[in-house]
Structure 1
Amino acid sequence: MSTSVFNRRWAALLLEALSRHGVRHVCIAPGSRSTPLTLAAAAHRSFICHTHFDERGLGHLALGLAKATGEPVAVIVTSGTAAANLYPALIEAGLTGERLVFLTADRPPELINCGANQAIRQTGLYASHPSLNIDLPRPSPDIPARWLVSTVDSAMAHLLHGALHINCPFAEPLYGGDEQQHEAWSAALGDWWQGTQPWLREADPHQVLQEPDWLFWQQKRGVVIAGRMSAEDGVRLAAWAATLGWPLISDALSQTGQPLPCADLWLAQPRARALLENAQLVVQFGSSLTGKRLLQWQEHCQPEEYWLIDSLPGRLDPAHHRGRRIRAAVNEWLDLHPAQTGLPWSGDLAALAQETFEATSEYLANRFGEAQLAHRLPTLLPENGQLFLGNSLIVRLIDALAQLPAGYPVFSNRGASGIDGLISTAAGVQRATAKPTLAVVGDLSALYDLNALALLRQCSAPMVLIVVNNNGGQIFSLLPTPAWERQRFYCMPQNVDFSHAAAMFQLNYACPENWDRLQQAVEQGWRHCGTTLIELQVPPSDGAETLQHLVQQWAVN
C-alpha cells in the first residue's frame, strides 16, 4: 500500500507546484489511473474543480476558462484514448495562446507495448503541438522532491503560450494505505509548504523595445488592421488609430467597436481599394482575421512596410510581407509608441463604411434569418455580459454585417477554426467570469459538441445559446463546391431540431419564428438564472446567398 500513498504525495506536490504559478481551475474527467491526481486536486484548498465525462469537451472547457481568466488551467485525465481526446483543444491553445497544463495519467513503462489494458504510447502523443513536454518517471522516494518541484517550476516559467503536457505514470495500487507514510519525502522541502512562491524562480528575458524610427513612420499614411485582442486593448487601439488619423479595419474579435463597419462588404468596392492603395505603412495588431475581402486586401496590399504585432511567436502573416514581425502585447507596444495627432488621409472611407452599414440595415430590415441575426446581434447582448462566437458561416456573417460595441468582450476559437468543442469552450468562458453570456453557433457545431449541454446545466449567471439551424454546413455554399455533390458531401443536412436535446439536458428552449419573438426569448433568457437554448430555424442557403448578394452589390457600386 506504500505505493498508493507515495503516488498521492507525488501528485500533491505536482499540483501544489502548479498552484504557485497561478493555476486555480482544474478540469477533471473520471478515471482510475488518474486517481492520485484527482484526489490531490480535490484536497487542494486553492483549486476550483470542474468535471465532465467527455474528455474532448473537458479540454475545450479548460480552453474557455483560460481564455476568460488569462490564467493557466490544468486538465486531469486517465490513460489511453482519454488523453488523445484532448488533442483538438491543445492544438487550438497552441494557435491562440491560452495556457493549458495537461496532466495525463499513464501506465508504468512495464505495461506499455505488451497488451496491457488501456495502455497506449503516450510519450510524445501530441507531437510538436505542445509548447513544452515533461515525461515524468514512475514516482519513487529515491527521486528528491526538489527535483519534481523545480522541474515543474522551470516548465511553467517558460509556458508563455500554448500547452504543457505532463505525462504521469502511476503503478498500482492506486487506493488505500497509511496516509502518514513517506512524510519525510515531502518534508524535505521545509518551510516552502507554508509559502506561496515557486521553489525555483526563473525570469523571462523577453523585452519589448521601441521602434527607433517610429517618429518617422507615424508621419506617413498608415492603415491599422485589428485582429483578435482583449477588450481593453481594442478600445485603446481604436483611440490610438483615431489620434493618428489612420483608418482602422477591424475584425469582429478585435473589440474596437469597428469604426469602419461592414469592411467585408465595402472592401469589395474598387473605390475603397484605390483609397487604401495610398497607404505607406500597414500595422496589424493581432492575428486570425475572419473577413474574406480583408484577407484578400491584406494579401495583395504593397505598402513600404508591413508590421505585425502580436504576443504569440511565429510569423502569423500568410502573405509574407516585407516589414517587421514584432512579438509584443498590444498594450506594451502602444505604451512605447504614443500617437501624435494627425489629420485623416483616407478621404471618404468613413462615409463609405457608414453608407454600407445603413444600406445593409435597410436591406435586412424585413428579412428574418441568420443574416438579420448577425446584423442585429448587438441589440441582443446582455448588459455587463460577454459574447461567444462559433465558427463557419455565422462568424463570417457577424464580421461582415454587424458593428459590435467597443470594449464588449468577445471570445471564439479562431485559431484552428474548427467546429469541435465550441459549446464546451463557451461554458468555460461563462464559468470563469460568472457573467451573462450569449453564445451563437451553427447546427453542425452544436451536434458535434452536444455532450457539452450537460455543462450548461451549471451556470452561475444567465446564458443564452442560439443555435442557427440552417440544416448543414452552409459555409460551403460560399465556396465553388460542385453543386451536384454539395448537399451529400459538404453541407450534410441532418434534418434535426434541438428541442429534444434541450429537454434531455433540462434546458429552457425556444424556437422563435420572427425577430420580435426572438427578442422576447432572449430577454426572457436574461431573466432566468440558467441556460436557454434558442433554435433559429432558417432556410438552408439564405444566409450565404444574402452575403453573396450584398458583396456583389457593393462590388459594382
Structure 2
Amino acid sequence: MSISVFNRRWAAVLLETLTRHGVQHICIAPGSRSTSLTLEAAANAKITCHTHFDERGLGHLALGLAKVTGQPVAVIVTSGTAVANLYPALIEASLTGERLVLLTADRPPELIDCGANQAIRQDGIFSHHPTVTLSLPRPTPDISASWLASTLDHAMSRLEQGALHVNCPFAEPLYGGDAAAYAAWSDELGDWWQGGNHWLSAGSEKRALPQRDWPQWQRRRGVVIAARMSAEQGKQVAQWAETLGWPLLGDVLSSSGQPLPCADLWLNNPQAQRLLAQAEIVIQFGGSLTGKRMLQWQAKCKPLEYWLIDHIEGRGDPANHRGRRLVSDISHWLALHPAEKRQPWAAQLTELSRKAQQHAIDALSSIFGEAQLASRLAQLLPENGLFFAGNSLIVRLIDALGQLPAGYPVYSNRGASGIDGLLSTAAGVQRGAKRPMLAVVGDISALYDLNGLTLIGQCTAPTVLIVVNNNGGSIFSLLPTPEAERERFYRMPHQLNFEHAAAMFGLDYASPHDWDSLLDIVQQRWHQQGVLLLELKVAPHDGAETLRRLVNDAAAF
C-alpha cells in the first residue's frame, strides 16, 4: 500500500508545480491508472476540475478553456487509447498557440510490450506535434521532490505555445495506504508549499523590436490583412489601419468589424484587383485566413515587402512572400509602431464593398437558409457575449456575407480546420468566459462530436447552438469533386435530424422555417437560462450555389 501513497505524493508535487505556472483548470477523464493525478487534482484548492467521459472531447474542452483564459490548461487521462484520443486537440493547439499540458498516466516499464492489459508505447506517441515532451520515471523516493519540481518548472518555462506532453507511469497498487507515509519526502520542499513561486525560475523574455524604417513605410501605399486575433486586438488593428488610410481586409475571425465587408465577394472584381495591386507594402496581423478569394489575393499579391505579425512562431505565410516575419504580441507591436494620420489611398474599395454587401442583402432577402443566416448573423449575437464559428461551409459563408461588430469576441478551430471536437471546444470557450454564447456548426460537425452535447448542456449562461443541416458535407459542392461520386464519397447524405439528439442530452429544441421566427426564438433565449439547439434545415446545395452566384455577380460591379 505504500506505493499508492507515494504515487499520491509524487502527483501532488507535479500538480502544485503546474499551478505556479498558471494552471487553474484541469480536465479529467475517468480511469484507474490516473487515480493519483485525479485525486490530487481534486484535493488542490487552486484547481478547478472539469470531467468528461470522452477523451477526444475532453481535449477540445481544454482547448476551449485555454482559448478564453489565455492560461495553460491541463488534461488527465488514463493509459492506452485514451491517450491517442487527445491527438486532434493537441494538433490544433500546436497550430493556434493555446497551451495544453497533457498528463497521460501509463503502465510502468515492466508492463510494456509483454501483453499487459491497456499497455501501449506512449513515449513519443504524439511525434513532433508537442512543443515539449517529458517522460517521467516511475515514482520512487530515491528521486528527490526537488528534482520533480525543477523538471516540471523547466518544461513549463519552454511552453510558450502548443502542448507539453508529460507521460506519467504509475505502478500498482493505486489505492489505499497510510496517508501520512512519505511526508518527509514532500517536506523536503520546505516553505515552497506555502508560497506561490517556482522552485526553479527559467525562461527568457521575448519582446518585439521597433522596425527602424517604419516611419518611411507608413507613408507608402499599404494594405492591412486582419486574420485571427483577439477582440481587443481586432479593434486596435482596425483603428490603426484607418489612421493610416490603408484598406483593411478583415477575416471573420479578426474581430476587426470588417470595415470593407464581403471581401470574399468583391475581391473577385477586376477593378478591386487592379487597385490593390498598387500596394507597396502588405502587413498581415494573425494567421489562418478563411475566404478563398482572400487566400488567392494574398498568394498572388506582389508588394515590395510583406510583413506578418503574430505571437505564434513559424513562417505562417504559405505564399512565401519576401518580407519580414515578426513574432510579437499584436498589441505590443502596434504600440511600438504608431500610425501617422493620412488620407485613404484606395477609397474606391469602399464603394465596391458597399455594392457587394447591398447586392447580397437584396439577393438573400427572400431566401431563407444558411446564406441568409450568414449575412444576418450580427442580428443574433447576444449582448456582451461571444461567438463560436464552426468549420467547412458555414464559416466561409459568414466570412463572405456577414459583418460582425468590431471588438466582438470570435472563436474557432481554424488551425488544422478539422471538424472533430467543435462542440466540445465551444463548450470550453463558454465555460471559461461565463458569457452568453452563439455557436454555429454544420450537421456533419455536430454528428462527429455528438458527445459534446453533454458539455454544451452544462453551459453556465444562455447558449444557442445552431446546427445547419444541409444533409451532408455541402462544402464539397464548392469543390471540383467528381459529380458521379460526390454524393456517396464526399457529401455522404445522412437523412438525420437533431430533435431526438437534443432530447437525449436535455437541450431545448427549435426548427424555425423563416427568418422572423428564427430571430424571435434566438432573441428570447438571451433572456432565459439554458441551452437551445436550433436546427436550420436547408436544401443540400443552396448555400454553396448561392455563394458561387454572388461571387460571380461581384465580378461585374
Alignment partners' CA distance in 2, 1:497 and 1:521: 19
Q: Please tell me whether the aligned partners of residues 426 and 456 of structure 2 are also in contact (alpha carbons under 8 angstroms).
A: no
SS at structure 2 position matched to 1:450: coil
- Structure 2 counterparts to residues 106-505 of structure 1, below 5 A: 106-505=106-505
- Structure 2 counterparts to residues 544-555 of structure 1, below 5 A: 544-555=544-555
> Aligned-pair distance for 1:453?
0.6
Alignment partners' CA distance in 2, 1:305 and 1:460: 47
SS at structure 2 position matched to 1:40: helix
Deviation by residue 1:48-103 (Cα, 9 ceiling, x = unmatched): 11000000000000000000111100000000000000000000000000000000
Alignment partners' CA distance in 2, 1:49 and 1:388: 23
**Letter of the aligned partner of 1:80 in structure 2?**
G
Q: Following superposition, which runs of at least 4 residues in structure 1 exceed 6 angstroms of deviation?
A: none
Q: 2:1 matched to 1:4? A: no
Alignment partners' CA distance in 2, 1:434 and 1:6: 37
Q: 2:83 matched to 1:83? A: yes
SS at structure 1 position matched to 2:451: helix
**Letter of the aligned partner of 1:472 in structure 2?**
G
Unaligned runs of 5+ in 1: none
Alignment partners' CA distance in 2, 1:298 and 1:459: 38
Alignment partners' CA distance in 2, 1:464 and 1:68: 18
Deviation by residue 1:420-467 (Cα, 9 ceiling, x = unmatched): 000000000000011000000000000000001111221210110000
**Letter of the aligned partner of 2:528 in structure 1?**
H
Aligned length: 557
Alignment partners' CA distance in 2, 1:115 and 1:201: 42
Alignment partners' CA distance in 1, 2:347 and 2:150: 58
Deviation by residue 1:148-192 (Cα, 9 ceiling, x = unmatched): 001111111111100000000000000000000000000000000
> Aligned-pair distance for 1:267?
0.1
- Structure 2 counterparts to residues 36-55 of structure 1, below 5 A: 36-55=36-55
SS at structure 1 position matched to 2:367: coil
Q: Please tell me whether the aligned partners of residues 420 and 448 of structure 1 are also in contact (alpha carbons under 8 angstroms).
A: yes
> Aligned-pair distance for 1:12?
0.6
- TM-score normalised per structure 2: 0.99
Q: Please tell me whether the aligned partners of residues 459 and 529 of structure 1 are also in contact (alpha carbons under 8 angstroms).
A: no
Q: Please tell me whether the aligned partners of residues 27 and 76 of structure 1 are also in contact (alpha carbons under 8 angstroms).
A: yes
Alignment partners' CA distance in 2, 1:528 and 1:485: 46
> Aligned-pair distance for 1:524?
2.6
Alignment partners' CA distance in 1, 2:322 and 2:431: 42
1:25 maps to 25
Alignment partners' CA distance in 2, 1:398 and 1:456: 22
SS at structure 1 position matched to 2:454: helix
Q: Please tell me whether the aligned partners of residues 275 and 347 of structure 1 are also in contact (alpha carbons under 8 angstroms).
A: no
Alignment partners' CA distance in 1, 2:205 and 2:261: 39
Greater mean alpha carbon deviation, residues 357-366 or residues 60-69: 357-366
**Letter of the aligned partner of 1:85 in structure 2?**
N
**Letter of the aligned partner of 1:187 in structure 2?**
D
Alignment partners' CA distance in 2, 1:508 and 1:525: 10
> Aligned-pair distance for 1:15?
0.3
Identity among equivalent pairs (%): 66
SS at structure 2 position matched to 1:255: coil
Unaligned runs of 5+ in 2: none
- TM-score normalised per structure 1: 0.99
> Aligned-pair distance for 1:530?
1.4
Greater mean alpha carbon deviation, residues 207-216 or residues 170-179: 207-216
Deviation by residue 1:486-508 (Cα, 9 ceiling, x = unmatched): 00000001010000000001100
Alignment partners' CA distance in 1, 2:181 and 2:288: 52
Alignment partners' CA distance in 2, 1:523 and 1:282: 40
> Aligned-pair distance for 1:556?
2.9
> Aligned-pair distance for 1:266?
0.2
**Letter of the aligned partner of 1:13 in structure 2?**
V
Alignment partners' CA distance in 2, 1:127 and 1:531: 38
**Letter of the aligned partner of 2:210 in structure 1?**
Q
Alignment partners' CA distance in 1, 2:528 and 2:35: 37
Alignment partners' CA distance in 2, 1:405 and 1:457: 27
> Aligned-pair distance for 1:203?
3.4
Alignment partners' CA distance in 2, 1:517 and 1:207: 51
**Letter of the aligned partner of 1:22 in structure 2?**
G
1:98 maps to 98
Alignment partners' CA distance in 1, 2:490 and 2:556: 30
